Structure 1
C-alpha cells in the first residue's frame, strides 16, 4: 500500500486525508491540534510526531498549512520533509501562499531529488470533504503525470497552469481576487434586501436562477439567511489571508485591484469584529450599520 502524507489536518486537510484513505492509500499526518489528530486517527490515518516522520516513507506529501512561513518550516526546516523524504518523491504544496514564497521553496529544494508540485486548490470545505477540489497545478508534465493518481484522489479538476513553482499560486491569487469580490457583493446585497424588507428566500430564489447565480453566491446567501456564521468550514481568516496575497501580487506587478481592495476592507471589518466567524459573518457588520437582518423568512 502506497503511503501519502498530509501536513495540516484542519477543515481542508482532513478532507484530503479522508479521500486519500478512501482511495486506498496509507495516510500519515500531523497537525498541531490534538482534537484534529484524534479525528484523523479515527478515520484510519497514521499519526506522526513531526513533518520529517510524515515524509519518511511517503511517496508524496500534501502541505495544507495557513501561511508561507509555516510551509517553509514544515518543508525546509531541520525536522522538515526534505530532511527525510525519499528521492523521487513529491511535496504537493496545496496551501495558498504568496507566489514569491512558492518560488523560494522551489529554489531551496533544488538538488534535493524531491519534486515540488505547486498546486493550490479551490472548492472550500465542501470540495475538500467531497473530493471534488479544483487544483491549479504547476510542475513539469512528467511529474504531474507521475503523481496524477494521488492528486485525482482528492480532486475533480486538475488544471495544468504552469511548470514552475509560483505559477499555481499566481493563478490562485487571481481567482481569490474574483471570489472575494463575489462574496463582498453578496454581503452588501443581503444587507440591502434586509433593510428593504425582502425575505431571504425570495432573494435566494431570484439570485440562484439569475445570471448572477453561482456556487459562491448561492452558498454564501444560504449561510446568511440561515444565520450560520460559525463552524461552516470557511473561517474568515483564510479568505482574509488570501485577499492579502492577491493585493500583494497586484502591488508587486503594478496592477490596480479596486474591487478586491474593497473586498479586503469588508473582510478586514468582519475579521476585526467577529474573529471567530466564517466568511459570511461580514454581513452582520453591514447589518448592524443599517439596523436590519436578512432571514430566510421575513419577520412580520
Structure 2
C-alpha cells in the first residue's frame, strides 16, 4: 500500500526476492511503473490484502494508515500480517492495533530509516515492534527489504517511539548542517574543504556529508528527500516529547528551521531549508 519513493522500493525488493507482489496507489503514474516492473496492480486497498501473507503499509500519515488498514482487515486472513512501515504517532499505531484485535491478523509496527536510496537498494534499517511469533512468521519478507532488523519491542507503538527519537537526532543534524553551510559560505570556505575536514573528525557523518554535497551543487529537489516528510516526522517527535513531558530544545529549533524551509519551498527537498538561511544572509556554499 503506497508506491511512492519508499513503497516502490519495498515492492521492487520483494519482487527481486521472488515474492508475487500486489499493490495500490492513488497515482496512475506510480501504478503504471509498478505493473511495468512486474507487480500486480489492484484497483482498491482491500484488493491488495486478498490472499496476502503480509501487506506493507507505506502511506504518509496516521489517518491514511487507519483507513487503509481498516479496508485490509475486511479481506485479510487470520495468520497474515499488516506491516506498518509508515512513520506515524505511536498512539495512532496502538489504536490501529487495537482495531485488529479478534481478527487474527498480526500487526508489526516497523518504521524505517534509510530514505529512498535504502528503499530502492533493500538496505533499510527496520525498527520493528511486535510479538516474537509475528516477527518469526514474517522474517522472510522483512529481510527482503532491509539490511538490518531491530526488534525494538513486543508492543505495537514501540517502533514508532524509536523512530521519533531517531528523527529528533537526524533532524537536528540536518538543521545544524544547513546553518554551518551558510556560515562557511559567508566566510569564503570551500564546500569541498569543509566536507573533507568534517569527515576527518568525530563530527563526520553521512547526513552532513550528503547534505553539504547537495547544497554546494545546488540540488534542492529530486534527491528523494522531500522536506514534507522530515517536517512531519519532527512534529511527531515533538508531540511525543510533549506527551512524555520531555524538553527538546534542539529538536524544537530544528523544527523551526524546517518550518521556514517548507513555508518557502513546500515542494522542495530537505536542503531547501538551507536556501532560506542563504537568502537571509546573501551567501551560499560554493564547491
On whether the aligned pair clears a TM of 0.5, the verdict is yes
Is 1:140–2:140 an aligned residue pair? no
Residue of structure 2 equivalent to 1:179: 170
2-structure distance, mates of 1:216, 1:43: 31
Q: 2:231 aligns with which of 240, 258, 262?
A: 240
Secondary structure class of the residue paired with 2:147: strand
Measure how far apart 1:210 and its partner are. 1.7
Task: Give CA deviations for 1:96-147 in whole Å, capped at 9, x if unaligned.
Answer: 0000000000001000110000000001111111100000010111210110
Secondary structure class of the residue paired with 1:243: helix
Pairwise CA RMSD of aligned residues? 0.7
2-structure distance, mates of 1:229, 1:22: 31
Secondary structure class of the residue paired with 1:279: coil
Is 1:21–2:15 an aligned residue pair? yes
2-structure distance, mates of 1:210, 1:221: 16
Mapping of 1:126-137 within 5 angstroms? 126-137=117-128
User: What is the TM-score of this pair, normalised by structure 2?
Assistant: 0.99
Mapping of 1:58-207 within 5 angstroms? 58-76=52-70, 80-207=71-198
More deviation, 214-223/90-99: 214-223
Residue of structure 1 equivalent to 2:205: 214
2-structure distance, mates of 1:203, 1:149: 42
User: What is the TM-score of this pair, normalised by structure 1?
Assistant: 0.95
2-structure distance, mates of 1:50, 1:112: 21
1-structure distance, mates of 2:114, 2:231: 16
| 5+ long unaligned stretches in structure 2 | none
Task: Give CA deviations for 1:38-95 in whole Å, capped at 9, x if unaligned.
Answer: 111111111101111000011000000000000001001xxx1000011100000000
Measure how far apart 1:294 and its partner are. 0.9
Secondary structure class of the residue paired with 2:203: coil
2-structure distance, mates of 1:271, 1:59: 38
| 5+ long unaligned stretches in structure 1 | 1-6
Measure how far apart 1:295 and its partner are. 2.2
2-structure distance, mates of 1:176, 1:124: 12
Residue of structure 1 equivalent to 2:51: 57
Secondary structure class of the residue paired with 1:136: strand
Mapping of 1:244-283 within 5 angstroms? 244-283=235-274
More deviation, 262-271/205-214: 205-214
Secondary structure class of the residue paired with 1:112: coil
Measure how far apart 1:197 and its partner are. 0.6
Which consecutive aligned stretches of 4+ in structure 1 deviate over 3 angstroms post-superposition?
none
Secondary structure class of the residue paired with 2:271: helix
Aligned residues: 287
